[in-house]
Structure 1
Amino acid sequence: MSKGAHFPKESRESTDPQSGRRIRQVTNHPSIHHHPFFFVPAYDRAMKRLIFVSYRTGKPQIFFEDRSSGQLVQVTDRADLADWSIIPSGDGRYVYYTAGTGGFRINLDTFEEEQLADFGAVEMREKGMVGAAMGTTALSASGKWWAVPVKAGPVTRFMLIDTERKTSSVIIERDTIGHPQFCPDDEDLILYAGPMTDRVWVTDRSGQKNRRIYQRENDMQWVTHEVWVPGRRTVAFVDWPRGMKMVDVDRGVVRQITYSPAWHAAPDDAGDTFVCDTNFPDLGLHTFHLDDDPADEAQPLCASEASSEGKHWAEPFPYNNGPVAVEAAQHTHPHPRFAPDNSRVVFTSDRTGHAQIYEVMLEDRA
């Protein structure tokens, strides 16, 4: 099948035995599916489309569910898509992604593909399955700026692309750059992950104000899964497996926000409530409020029943002596994310033997 192809509705509903909440399984083909990474929106702001990746054609391709009809629509037809690079624009016009050694966007109405950048003869991503090796990218709230880390020999170049002028420039070169994210309240502020032992950094778009905003307490602390908190100019991060902390990017003030064992945790658009998955043990998806007492227990949302590959998560911090090889296929992780209207949470689970897209409804209980 090629881009623009339509597939019949596959959704089916069930009830979560833990919470009684309604679960909608969006995809049902016997192949890998996953929505974007946990800090990347899966819907446009108007919620016309749910964006995901499907391997049903034999290679990863971008798809969306047309939420008015339930039909699934194939968006790309490429042999070289970097499936974790995808990021939809909030206005619902485009999905941005890397493929091969280029940066592209595709119009979701016309399926016209544009190349915005050619990165040259580069590796693009680090080797592995986690962190910078995933190749995630960042799009500003307005859609004007797209930030893409590009592995080029001994360094990673932080490429900033002007999506209107279709020009690009290198703003930083350093050892590693992973999981970039534009601040939702300031398009001149970009969060990114440095090395596993020195994770939490921000820069401006010029690269002149590149700085660490949190330094780990000791060589046993495992800092991971950073995310912006909307409306607060703060970055929340997982202090695995001891809960989550939050750091103010202007004042450097750090505070504990939960002691619950959050794994991948993302806030709603108001910056009030987080949703997270759990691992070792998998206790399902949970929510917690940012301004509650950190000692309060997170509230169960539903079971994930995902296999959540990555045995290293059960061990002490493993990266002090450099990278380690791990089997941690990301499509086996739930990566929960609120919908823009807070009516549901999207997540991925391979509970059926193949990774599928699910939604758990928040507005009602069965």
Structure 2
Amino acid sequence: MPYTHHRSESAPFNDGTGATLRQITQHGSIHHHPFFFVDAWDAAMSFLLLISHRTGSPQIFIEPAPGADLVQLTEEPALAEWSVIPSRDGDWIYFVAGQEGKRVSPRDGRVEVLAHFDSREMREAGMVGAAMGTTALSACGRYWAVPVKSGAVSRFWLVDTETQSAEVFLEAPTIGHPQFCPDDDNLILYAGPMTDRVWVTDRQGNARRIFERAHEMQWITHEVWRPGHRTVLFVDWPNGFGEIDPESGEVRMLTDFPVWHGAPDATGAHLIFDTNFPDRGLHLLSLDGSAPPTPLHRPEASSQGAHWADPFPYNNGPVKVHAPQHTHPHPRFSPDGRKVVFTSDRSGTAQIYELDVKSEKVGHPMRD
């Protein structure tokens, strides 16, 4: 239980456009926030959650208030850095370490073990998709869904955080990027194989496909729930961004702009997204289709992953790619919709930044 304070590294950042930006970390090691579809704050914004490698391995840190000292919460030798997810009430931060599912209190660093997973593999090999090991937490905070690779299958574990019990409720060839519906604690989105991506299941394991590719070169990726709508937003790379109704099966395209990682705000009205090949920076999009995307900021991240520049590469099965996730911006709204957190390795190491999206100067054209 380290609960160690590190001196604040917060400082204003000037990108030359007049946007209000803050650099949160500056230590010369890898930093990132959880992921583009995972909250980086609790609902009350009593802390900002981040991962730092400054102690020699990835560990969970929080910034209790803007500009406050950074607080180290964990000292785990085998923390799965993309598994980290906070509860909305701010009481716990959940994570996988080794073969165990754990949670840590942001108030005092107390760690509890909730589950033991019976797998040596835990995650698929690689850097993308199911290999990242992301997990899902229900809006009520009671149910934590954890995919675990075990031999030829992936097992979907459901941890009841109240009774501290755990069981496997679904087995499938691949289970990646799980997300509880923000409007239904009994509905979970997950990614199947790259050629058959978009699935939902209930907590009883009744899984069903909600989207099927139109042709073998269609690249569907980066699915995320749209809050308040019970629909799924998705990227049709690099042709645009669409929306799926899981109940009716209706699919509609929202824009032909090449969205890369897109995350909606808590109301489901707006989308923040990054871009790649070419990198046009962070953009804001109204999901009602009333206006084209508005450019906000150029993170100048290296956004590694050369395969994104080529046609869909996965038709013959998994391929090895070099795409370290901390080099991607992965922008995410704050719960109040006033800020966006993102990662950039523009300085040579991945650091965390915060952009004020309510600034009156945001939206001016970015300089080339």
TM-score, structure 1 as length reference: 0.97
Give the partner amino acid of 2:334.
A
Written as runs of structure 1 = structure 2, the 5 A alignment for 1:6-21 is 6-17=5-16, 19-21=17-19
Contact 2:119-2:149 at 8 Å conserved across structures: no
1:363 positional shift: 2.0
User: Which whole-Å CA distance do the structure 1 matches of 2:143 and 2:185 have between them?
Assistant: 8
Contact 1:122-1:153 at 8 Å conserved across structures: no
Q: Deviations over 1:251-270 (max 9, x none)?
A: 11110011111000000000
User: Which whole-Å CA distance do the structure 2 matches of 1:15 and 1:107 have between them?
Assistant: 34
Number of the residue aligned with 1:230: 227
Which of residues 90, 114, 117 in structure 1 aligns to 2:115? 117
1:304 positional shift: 1.0
1:302 positional shift: 0.6
Number of the residue aligned with 1:174: 172
Which of residues 261, 266, 271 in structure 2 aligns to 1:264? 261
User: Which whole-Å CA distance do the structure 1 matches of 2:194 and 2:243 have between them?
Assistant: 18
Contact 1:171-1:206 at 8 Å conserved across structures: yes
Contact 2:270-2:285 at 8 Å conserved across structures: yes
User: Which whole-Å CA distance do the structure 1 matches of 2:156 and 2:80 have between them?
Assistant: 17
Number of the residue aligned with 1:88: 86
1:250 positional shift: 1.0
Written as runs of structure 1 = structure 2, the 5 A alignment for 1:1-366 is 3-17=2-16, 19-67=17-65, 70-207=68-205, 209-292=206-289, 296-365=291-360
Give the partner amino acid of 1:245.
G
Contact 2:79-2:95 at 8 Å conserved across structures: yes
User: Which whole-Å CA distance do the structure 1 matches of 2:236 and 2:2 have between them?
Assistant: 41
1:343 positional shift: 1.3
1:15 positional shift: 2.7
Give the partner amino acid of 2:14.
T
Give the partner amino acid of 2:289.
D
Gaps of 5+ in 1: none
- Deviating above 2 A after TM superposition, structure 1's stretches of 4 or more consecutive aligned residues are 14-17
1:171 positional shift: 1.0
Against the structure 1 CA distance between its residues 285 and 68, is the aligned structure 2 distance closer, same or farther, given a 3 Å change threshold?
closer
Contact 2:135-2:144 at 8 Å conserved across structures: yes
User: Which whole-Å CA distance do the structure 2 matches of 1:307 and 1:44 have between them?
Assistant: 29
User: Which whole-Å CA distance do the structure 1 matches of 2:72 and 2:265 have between them?
Assistant: 28
Q: Deviations over 1:259-291 (max 9, x none)?
A: 111000000000000000000000000010111
User: Which whole-Å CA distance do the structure 1 matches of 2:134 and 2:246 have between them?
Assistant: 22
Contact 2:152-2:173 at 8 Å conserved across structures: yes
Contact 1:143-1:163 at 8 Å conserved across structures: yes
Q: Secondary structure at the match of 2:74?
A: coil
Contact 1:122-1:150 at 8 Å conserved across structures: no
Contact 2:119-2:148 at 8 Å conserved across structures: no
User: Which whole-Å CA distance do the structure 2 matches of 1:351 and 1:365 have between them?
Assistant: 25
Give the CA RMSD over aligned residues: 1.0
Contact 1:201-1:211 at 8 Å conserved across structures: yes
1:14 positional shift: 2.2
User: Which whole-Å CA distance do the structure 1 matches of 2:344 and 2:262 have between them?
Assistant: 16
Q: Secondary structure at the match of 2:82?
A: helix
Count of aligned pairs between the two proteins: 361
Against the structure 1 CA distance between its residues 322 and 269, is the aligned structure 2 distance closer, same or farther, given a 3 Å change threshold?
same
Give the partner amino acid of 1:15.
N
User: Which whole-Å CA distance do the structure 1 matches of 2:335 and 2:119 have between them?
Assistant: 38
User: Which whole-Å CA distance do the structure 1 matches of 2:260 and 2:75 have between them?
Assistant: 33
Against the structure 1 CA distance between its residues 121 and 233, is the aligned structure 2 distance closer, same or farther, given a 3 Å change threshold?
closer
User: Which whole-Å CA distance do the structure 2 matches of 1:326 and 1:135 have between them?
Assistant: 16
User: Which whole-Å CA distance do the structure 2 matches of 1:25 and 1:110 have between them?
Assistant: 25
Q: Deviations over 1:47-77 (max 9, x none)?
A: 1100000000000000011116511000100
